[in-house]
Amino acid sequence: MPVGTRASVKGIPPHWVRESGAQILLNNTYHLMLRPGADLIARRGGVHRFMNWNGPILTDSGGYQAYSLADTNRVDDDGVTFKSIIDGRPVRLAPEDAMRVQNELGADIIMALDDCPPPQPPGEADDPRQARAAARDRVGHAEDHAARLEQANERTLRWLERCVASHARKEDQALFGIVQGGTDPARRTWCAQRVTQIDLPGYAIGGVAVGEPPEAIAAVVRHTAPLLPADKPRYLMGVGYERDLLAAVCAGVDMFDCVLPTRNGRNANAFTPHGQIRLRNAQYAEDDGPIDSSCDCHACRPRVHGWDTPDDRAFSRAYLRHLFMVGEMLGPILVSLHNLRHFQRFMIDVRASIVTDDWAGLKARWPVVSEM
């Protein structure tokens, strides 16, 4: 799922997002709640009509923002109090608020409010998000961390129960529960067992890709995914790179979202089957080749999309580098379009490999995952 935080995949018109192969988008509950406001969107027929996206939408609950913005909020047993990123006013988000906002937004899949703790004990990671969350939660030692994981699990379960009770649109909005537990297998098991005792349309693995290394992400997913019902969608939140996606699919995960394609695209980083290329590098100043000759995106094969270019040429790496170096908007747009298509092509190939069982062929076509 491409991420459209504020009801927009940055810089990309909805029909181009669709052309990339996307079937469903993710919107951000916290940001839309602040601006323009869920009630305003509801008065305009819901978020699909508001952003002109004629397909499914998933909204998160605000639980991740409580983690990533830990230096400007406070979490207690009843919910989260944010300091608004717009005007500094206090904004309260309890489970009932998360449901009300998502009911007003009208997304097809909505997420329960969860409590996302720092995933690893102090000293095992230097990610600034973990540091901020650890400081807010006063996690200074391994013993503190263990207690915080237990607290987060219990809150996540209680908040899920409150979300279920206050969900006002059960007939047309699928509520997913989220499993927390950090990188601790026992706590992941505890949370998964209790969350899945509540009958829901789907379940998610949360609290990964929030600062821990790839091997820790893979270990958590391998442990947790089989604990979720096999006949319901399994959603891994916020992941990720190709290696992470493939490892999660092999563990049994069905759904993913990540900001990487567009965030990296806006920063001149293009994904290819052989790894990322950083187009600002001087080595591409006179490179006339496309980003990826195997790709059929707007940048690499514009004629496929009805764009008439001299000799059916692709947009060259040299030209794209020029756009970034002079600050032209077209550069981020084209590389974001390429990255969106890259990940959809990868997932299409993964789905085909599930049918054919040709995993060796997949890795040959996508060397970026060959080290798995």
Active site residues: 60, 257
User: Is the confidence at residue 248, as pLDDT, over 60?
Assistant: yes
Whether 167 and 23 map to the same domain: the answer is yes
Spatial separation of the C-alpha atoms in residues 37 and 210, rounded to whole Å: 27
> How many C-beta atoms surround the C-beta of residue 197 within 10 A?
9
On whether the CB atoms of residues 105 and 173 are closer than 8 A, the answer is no
pLDDT at residue 370 in the model: 83
Q: Which of 258, 284, 304 is the last residue of a domain?
A: 258
pLDDT at residue 123 in the model: 76
Residue that is written with structure tokens 């916290």 in the block:
30
Buried b (16+ CB within 10 A) or exposed e, 229-242: eeebbbbbbbbbbb
Spatial separation of the C-alpha atoms in residues 312 and 246, rounded to whole Å: 34
**pLDDT tens digits, one per residue of 335-369:** 999 999 999 999 999 999 999 999 999 999 999 99
Q: Is position 5 within any domain?
A: no
Number of separate domains in the chain: 2
Spatial separation of the C-alpha atoms in residues 88 and 82, rounded to whole Å: 9
Q: Can you give the residue range of the structural domain that contains 360?
A: 267-369
Strand partners, 333: none
Whether 57 and 109 map to the same domain: the answer is yes
Whether 274 and 247 map to the same domain: the answer is no
Whether 285 and 318 map to the same domain: the answer is yes
Whether 238 and 274 map to the same domain: the answer is no
3-state SS assignment for residue 120 = coil
Spatial separation of the C-alpha atoms in residues 57 and 40, rounded to whole Å: 18
Q: Is position 85 within any domain?
A: yes
Q: Is position 50 within any domain?
A: yes
Q: Is the peptide bond before 240 cis (omega within 30 degrees of 0)?
A: yes
Let me know if 109 is exposed, middle or buried by CB neighbors in 10 A (0-12, 13-18, 19+). buried
Q: Is position 3 within any domain?
A: no
Instruction: Enter the tokens of residue 65.
Output: 């923002």
Q: Is position 84 within any domain?
A: yes
Whether 109 and 169 map to the same domain: the answer is yes
Find the Cα–Cα–Cα–Cα dihedral 292, 293, 295, 297, rounded to 10°: 80
Q: Is position 2 within any domain?
A: no
Whether 229 and 86 map to the same domain: the answer is yes
Whether 251 and 323 map to the same domain: the answer is no
Whether 351 and 207 map to the same domain: the answer is no
Instruction: Enter the tokens of residue 259.
Output: 């900001």
The overall pTM is greater than 0.85: yes
**pLDDT tens digits, one per residue of 292-330:** 999 999 999 999 999 999 999 999 999 999 999 999 999
Q: Which of 240, 258, 276 is the last residue of a domain?
A: 258
Spatial separation of the C-alpha atoms in residues 307 and 319, rounded to whole Å: 16
Q: Among candidates 233, 292, 223, 230, which has minimal Cα distance to 257?
A: 233
Let me know if 196 is exposed, middle or buried by CB neighbors in 10 A (0-12, 13-18, 19+). middle
Whether 96 and 212 map to the same domain: the answer is yes
Spatial separation of the C-alpha atoms in residues 182 and 148, rounded to whole Å: 10
Residue that is written with structure tokens 């600002």 in the block:
280
Q: Is position 87 within any domain?
A: yes
Whether 27 and 134 map to the same domain: the answer is yes
Give the pLDDT band (50/70/90) at residue 371. low
Whether 229 and 319 map to the same domain: the answer is no
Spatial separation of the C-alpha atoms in residues 283 and 287, rounded to whole Å: 7
3-state SS assignment for residue 175 = strand
Q: Is position 8 within any domain?
A: no
Q: Which of 229, 258, 287 is the last residue of a domain?
A: 258
Instruction: Tell me the CATH number at 202.
Output: 3.20.20.105
**pLDDT tens digits, one per residue of 90-137:** 999 999 999 999 999 999 999 999 999 999 888 776 688 888 999 999
- Pairwise pLDDT comparison (15 vs 142), residue with the higher score: 15
Q: Is the peptide bond before 36 cis (omega within 30 degrees of 0)?
A: yes
